[in-house]
Amino acid sequence: MEKRTENDMIHLPEAFCERMRGLLGDQYGEFIASYDRDRVQGLRLNGLKTAGPESSPRELARNMERETGFELQPIPWVRDGFYYREEDRPGKHPYHEAGAYYIQEPSAMAVVELADPIPGDRVLDLCAAPGGKTTHIASRLKGKGFLLSNEIHPARAKILSQNVERMGVQNAVVTNEAPERLSPRFPEFFDKIVVDAPCSGEGMFRKDPQAADQWSPDHVAMCAARQGDILDQAAGMLKPGGRMVYSTCTFAPEENEGTVLHFLERHPDFEVEAVNGYEGFDCGKPRWAGVDPETDLGRQLARTFRLFPHRLEGEGHYMAVLKKRGEAPEAATFWGGPRMAVRKQKELLKDFADFCRENLAETEWLADQDSYVLFGDQLYLTPREMPEMAGLKVVRPGLHLGTLKKNRFEPSHALALALRPDQARISLRLKPQEGPVLRYLKGETLDLNSLEGELTPAGAGKGWALVCAGEYSLGWAKLTGQIFKNHYPKGLRWM
């Protein structure tokens, strides 16, 4: 990481520095000195895979430290978040491929903590790629409720979908749409909405020096206008009584207090909700938006949050918790018909049902056949509360179960990542940092005679085996006798 000092301020735009000097006053020296420090690194444990009934996040982190050699320190504002050392390199560990954690900038983790999704909520992540906040939401939902994760850019939507898969999320639908295409389809539908809006990226200059090269006052103004449009669309999709968290990774008042101010002026049915922050969080600055702090709007803007890199261990961020006035309506069913023609073609599911009976230890979830969707020969299990999505660009309509081939079913990588070892009839637990698991990730065939892994049940001789790094599923292998034929996806294999 390149360090920045007063002597190489040339790396920061002059207009940006002048503005921050004027805004921060005597704090400017501390602020600019933060660019001389290395940025901190963070990861968030995936509660869909790591949570135990009696284990605290700290206990889980201690287990992770013993198993990986990482050194983890708690991030104060997120229950499952931890700082790690740069030399730990968690992105190169098998647990990363298993979705045991998500590498995420520490300040960004605060957004979902403020949104506070609970199991059963309907949640929209409107600007979701690459997936940090989406997978955080999913971890908090614990498989209950409905998550719509949207990204307007097709390439980024694909990355988002891949991260949803890696983290074993079952109740999320990924779409590739503009907000104005979604809002008419979901009127007052969601309990919680996260809008991590595209912004000028000033808070990421230390993390991404190229962002500084692309900065300009005109770009700030363009981002502020776009953010207002996105918030307007999101507002109509939130239930009365619902909560929307607006966030950016910029310091610009136009994109932060200014955007929230103009939104409140356009939407009198919203207010900034008073929620508790954490040590190091600064309050919003109404004067920076030209608002008297003693007015109602000023007091509301002061309830928003600013995260500065000289005040806490994280990058620059801004967050506002927006509450829609009114009471939530009675729960309504938005789905009125069968998901697909599978109800009329149940023979198509026979091979899948046979696979489940032969290879899975739990098959109760097969009963909900109205939730299956077939795209060509690809079978998905959709969330129970998924509404009608016809006409929308759906990247991932739920959990990808696998492929219906002639007279057989081939399970997907997504299904493997969504399962625990005890949910498969045959599982192979490999030590997370030793040769066999690395050979599996490289796509090599494994010989049971040369493995120091735990095969359950002992003596299993045939069938689909769930290969795991410790207790975390990695993918499938086809067991025949003593040989595991590798089915780890070619595009994900380690070099």
Q: Is 468 a catalytic residue?
A: no
Binding residue positions for S-adenosyl-L-methionine: 127-133, 151, 196
Binding residue positions: 127-133, 151, 196
List the one residue out of 300, 295, 220 whose CA is nearest residue 260. 300
- Which of 223, 249, 356, 468 is flagged as catalytic? 249
Residues labelled as active-site residues? 249
